[in-house]
Structure 1
Amino acid sequence: MRALATRIASVLPHEDPAAEAIGPVYGTADLVSWLDVSKQGLNQKARAGGILAFKTADGHMLYPAWQLDDNGTVRPGVSAVLRELMRGGMGGLTNALWFAAPNRSLDGTSPAQWLTERRDREPVIRAAKHTASRWVA
């Protein structure tokens, strides 16, 4: 499935800095097939903060590949961090970009990389709380 995500990313416009920052993504149909879940179930999981998703300008839902391990399980910490960010009221694309951006609270490492490396999730949760509180202020 990682190869599929990379292939999908390769057809996204490369002049789009957001697409480059977020990296490889899965489409809804890809995850429905791989994870053997319904489209409705996947959408519900995204709305509840169980998986990071964002909608493209043409209405397609995309899911950053980094958040899933090789078995299709959402990496530890992703959901907790995402739920904190969702309290800030921003949309999925903003949240995806936050995960991809270097973060001073994480020694310049992006939250996505930090969680992918299986580091302690608490500093990422704190950073997300801080960011969300600024978004609603």
Structure 2
Amino acid sequence: MISALPTARSFDQLVGPYYDTSGLTQWWGVSRQAVARAASSGDVIACQLDGGGWVYPAWQFTDSGTVYPDLVTLWSILHAAADAWTCATWIRSPLADLDGRSAAQWVTEGRPIEPVLELARADARKWAT
């Protein structure tokens, strides 16, 4: 039974790769506090590691370092009902209703956000009950 549970490595493969706080401060040219503020305000997707550090999935960023606004919207819907790792996993998992694409793929390909928002709202409602 234990072998059926996801391992940390499988989360890394699905949700990663990541930037750590140091990497993000260097890329953005800001302080650690600025990155922490962006994470706490929900302006950047952040997941806390068991040791207390933070990671920021690379798929949320455009080439210029901004975060895709639609991913932040999805994040806020999902994160109101579940922990960060569940939300990040949901965003990166292939969804049948999106032709087998993940929400992250769908958004970064510039597809209409409304179908993804509907799916996120429906799952967030289920998680909240």
TM-score (norm 2): 0.87
Identify the match of residue 80 of structure 1 among 73, 88, 97.
73
Match for residue 59 of structure 1?
52
| Equivalent AA in structure 2 for residue 39 of structure 1 | R
| Equivalent AA in structure 2 for residue 124 of structure 1 | V
RMSD: 1.6
Q: % of aligned pairs identical? A: 36
Identify the match of residue 33 of structure 2 among 36, 40, 59.
40
Cα displacement (A) at 1:32? 0.9
Number of equivalent positions:
123
TM-score (norm 1): 0.82
* Structure 1 runs of 4+ with >6 Å offset: none
Closer, same or farther: CA 44–119 of 1 in aligned 2, 3 Å: same
Cα displacement (A) at 1:15? 6.9
Match for residue 113 of structure 2?
121
Structure 2's unaligned 5+ residue stretches are 1-6
SS in 1 for 2:88: helix
Match for residue 97 of structure 1?
89
SS in 1 for 2:56: strand
Give, in whole Å, the separation in 2 of the partners of 1:87 and 1:43.
Answer: 19
SS in 2 for 1:63: strand
Residues 49 and 86 in structure 1, CA contact (< 8 A), matched pair in contact too: no
